[in-house]
Amino acid sequence: MNNHPRFSRGDGANGDSRRAILSRRAFLVAGFQTLALLAACTARVPAPPAATASAPAGGSPTPSAPPMSPIPVGTCVAPAVVAPTPVPYPGYTQVEPSTGLHVTGPTQLVDLDSYRLEVTGLVDHPLSLRYDEVRCLPKVEAHVRLECPGFFADDLNLAGVTFASVIALAGPQPGAKSVRVVSVEDYSMGFTLDEIQAADNFLAYQWEDQPLPASHGFPLRGVMPARAGSNWVKWVRQLELS
């Protein structure tokens, strides 16, 4: 079947005029069809998401506050850990038979599923880190001596993550000058920001290549080699910058 436009025969100028008119009509029809096709294709492109920040009257948009959630620390998958079993308390400053180490108080039990290490206060990014996320940060190991003057001195092989690494993740603000280390029993000790970020101060999560014993601070214990044992906060749950 011939789908071309049918032209009536004509002679001279009349025939040429009719052919010119029909050619212009065909051109316009083709043009409209092309525009319609382009419009249909453009309609399939998703619109960009709307901005969520609200702008105060006469001002620029206000950024949203950072969430209290863990900051990704890479693709690390920490080995599974079973919480250590508590052992009977032998008494204040007495030796624990299972570890050969001295103890200074009853064990605090910590549920790993709900446990979080929080970094709060004068920081740009408040943190709430799971135990495994802490273990995925750069690891340090040290042979240290824990001393309680007048009572005992224990030598320990410990491993963990420096206070400086954790605090850096949170981004201390210029006004931050001190850090309070808080345990799950709300015992706490304060340090200057400069002191606690010294390279030899860290949060221990391992003793002798095993999870820290429950009686010695599992899941995290502060290690401050230049300080007496009372500064080595056990069962750490929070670093508060002020």
Whole-angstrom Cα distance, residue 84 to residue 55? 51
Q: pTM for the complete prediction?
A: 0.71
Read off φ and ψ for residue 161, nearest 5 degrees.
-130, 140
The pLDDT value given to residue 27: 41
CB crowding 100-113: b at 16 or more within 10 Å, else e: ebbbbeebbebeee
Q: How many CA atoms lie within 13 A of 60 on its CB side?
A: 1
Quick one: which of 138, 54, 157 has its CA closest to 99?
157
Whole-angstrom Cα distance, residue 111 to residue 49? 40
The pLDDT value given to residue 161: 98
Most distant pair of Cα atoms in the chain: their distance: 126
103: left (phi over 0), alpha (psi -120 to 50) or beta: beta
* Other CB atoms within 10 A of residue 48 CB: 6
* Low pLDDT (below 70) residues in the chain: 1-75
Query: 136-172: per-residue pLDDT in tens?
Result: 999 999 999 999 999 999 999 999 999 999 999 999 9
Query: 56-88: per-residue pLDDT in tens?
Result: 444 444 344 444 545 454 568 899 999 999 999
Instruction: Count, in order, helices (H) and strands (E) of the chain.
Output: 4, 12
C-beta of residue 142 within 8 angstroms of C-beta of residue 200 = yes
The pLDDT value given to residue 43: 31
